[in-house]
Amino acid sequence: MSKTISINAGSSSLKWQLYLMPQEQVLAKGLIERIGLKDSISTVKFDGRSEQQILDITDHTQAVRILLDDLKRFDIIQSYDEITGVGHRVVAGGEHFKDSALVTEEVIQQVEELSLLAPLHNPANAAGIRAFREILPDITSVLVFDTSFHTSMPEKAYRYPLPSKYYTENKVRKYGAHGTSHEYVAQEAAKVLGKPIEELKLITCHIGNGASITAVDKGLSVDTSMGFTPLGGVMMGTRTGDIDPAIIPYLMLHTDDFSSPEDISHVLNRESGLKGVSGNSSDMRDIESAMEAGDHDATLAFDIFVDRIQKYIGQYFAVLNGADAIIFTAGIGENSDLVREAVISGLSWFGCDIEPAKNVRGAEGVISTPEAKVKVLVIPTDEELVIAREVERFKNQ
């Protein structure tokens, strides 16, 4: 029996989960926030307890030390030797990482070089990887890439109709994201449906604060809504998703808000989506409450959100030439019966039909009617578990 940590490092945060493997039992989990700022917060949850401390954490190496000290302080482990593996989520793996990879100095450098594709995420991921390598150099250390699952996309799906040199020289192509989540829920859905994944065409909808939709054919990603970066695709909490690219030069010419690349990126990534249209919140719970109170802008935000999901699902019926099931996951997909009902009610022509009694908060499994040609499922995602399983796979190689 051994213990494995899944790590998801953000620019100023470090989310972790400790597993007993191979039992896949969660022993503890936690979040360190405000790394590099004053009053950083470390939260540890275990045995029904939640412990929090506020202290100044200067960088990811110190954050890792604090997390490991906390594990000992709370008697979750007696010594570091019990930890035999660590798995790190990495956002951008580019074209190179088609599979998870064992950590070496060369691999860390490749992750750092790929920061061009994920400037907010990859440097933070690399900092988390280096921190663990420094403190626990001898354990099995594995990188799991958000993009690997999508490397099976055909060229016609991942290339943009731009001059080819921007692909060959600048690597501009669709990479997608949320790969571990799409792969996990597709495999879980096959189990629920009782069919080999090789016989299924699935449309997986990861709808959280970030959102993406993937067409999965025989277990392989053949197209996905996020693009060169996680800005593309459906509307999100604060991101636009797809918009007419001509809007950008137009706003550069006619407003003061778009003078630098950073300004453009800020508006499209942080001020748009549900937040931008509602003028209120990026959080679907707030949008739903405001909608109930009759707020016009919140209702419009909800309607656009649903419309874009429906259109992507429609596209993927075409890409797959039909589908056996649609799967909802992540914060909104798992919890918002209103969003699921609104999306599916517009897809009845395709053979989708939700059973209202099954489409309740907390629903899991099949929520479509027995007669529906296309099944609809809710499958809670578990990206941390996928990461821990990948570490296990490398240990057993």
Closest CA to 344 of 274, 218, 363: 363
Give the contacts of 41 (CB within 8 A, at least 6 positions apart): 31, 32, 33, 34, 52, 53, 54
Residues in the interface with ligand AMP (CB under 6 A) total 13
CA distance 25 to 221: 29
DSSP 13-57: -EEEEEEEETTTEEEEEEEEE-TTSSSEEEEEEETTEEEEEEE--
Q: How far is the CB of 340 from ligand AMP (least distance, A)?
A: 10
Q: What's the alpha-carbon Rg for the chain, to the nearest Å?
A: 21
Site for ligand AMP in 297-316 (CB under 6 A): none
Alpha helices (H) along the chain: 60-73, 105-113, 122-135, 155-158, 165-168, 179-193, 247-254, 261-270, 273-278, 284-292, 296-320, 330-335, 337-345, 383-395
Nearer to ligand AMP, 112 or 286 (CB): 286
CA distance 377 to 379: 6
Nearer to ligand AMP, 94 or 176 (CB): 176
CA distance 365 to 328: 10
Nearer to ligand AMP, 338 or 352 (CB): 338
Q: How far is the CB of 64 from ligand AMP (least distance, A)?
A: 23
Contact pick of 235, 267, 284, 366 for ligand AMP (by CB under 6 A): 284
8 is in an annotated binding site: yes
CA distance 92 to 284: 27
21 is in an annotated binding site: no
Alpha helices (H) along 146-240: 155-158, 165-168, 179-193
Residue 289 interacting with ligand AMP (CB under 6 A): no
Residue 285 interacting with ligand AMP (CB under 6 A): yes
Site for ligand AMP in 194-213 (CB under 6 A): 208-209
Tokens of 231: 């800005």
Q: How far is the CB of 385 from ligand AMP (least distance, A)?
A: 15
Nearer to ligand AMP, 176 or 331 (CB): 331
Nearer to ligand AMP, 209 or 265 (CB): 209
Distances (CA, A) of 194 to 197, 290, 329, 337, 355: 9, 40, 19, 25, 20
Residue 332 interacting with ligand AMP (CB under 6 A): yes
Q: How far is the CB of 149 from ligand AMP (least distance, A)?
A: 17
Scanning 56-64, 111-119, 281-289, 389-397 for contacts with ligand AMP by CB under 6 A, the matching segment is 281-289
Active-site hit among 75, 99, 138, 146: 146
362 is in an annotated binding site: no
Scanning 151-159, 241-249, 331-339, 370-378 for contacts with ligand AMP by CB under 6 A, the matching segment is 331-339
CA distance 1 to 111: 31
Residue 233 interacting with ligand AMP (CB under 6 A): no
Closest CB to ligand AMP belongs to which residue?
331
Residue 283 interacting with ligand AMP (CB under 6 A): yes
Q: Looking at the DSSP assignment, which residues form a beta bridge with residue 206?
A: 212, 329
Q: How far is the CB of 16 from ligand AMP (least distance, A)?
A: 16
Residue 373 interacting with ligand AMP (CB under 6 A): no
Scanning 43-51, 149-157, 265-273, 324-332 for contacts with ligand AMP by CB under 6 A, the matching segment is 324-332
Beta pairing, strands 40-46 & 83-90? unpaired
Give the contacts of 206 (CB within 8 A, at least 6 positions apart): 178, 181, 182, 185, 212, 213, 214, 329, 330, 333, 381
CA distance 136 to 71: 14
304 is in an annotated binding site: no
Q: How far is the CB of 247 from ligand AMP (least distance, A)?
A: 25
Residue 241 interacting with ligand AMP (CB under 6 A): no
If one counts every other C-beta atom within 10 angstroms of the C-beta of residue 156, the result is 8
Active site residue 382: no
The binding site comprises: 8, 15, 89, 206-210, 283-285, 331-335, 383
Residues carrying an active site annotation: 146
Annotated binding-site ranges for ATP: 15, 206-210, 283-285, 331-335
Q: Point out the annotated binding site for substrate.
A: 89
Binding residues for Mg(2+): 8, 383
- In the complex, the residues that contact ligand AMP under the rule CB under 6 A are 208-209, 237, 283-285, 288, 330-332, 335-336, 361
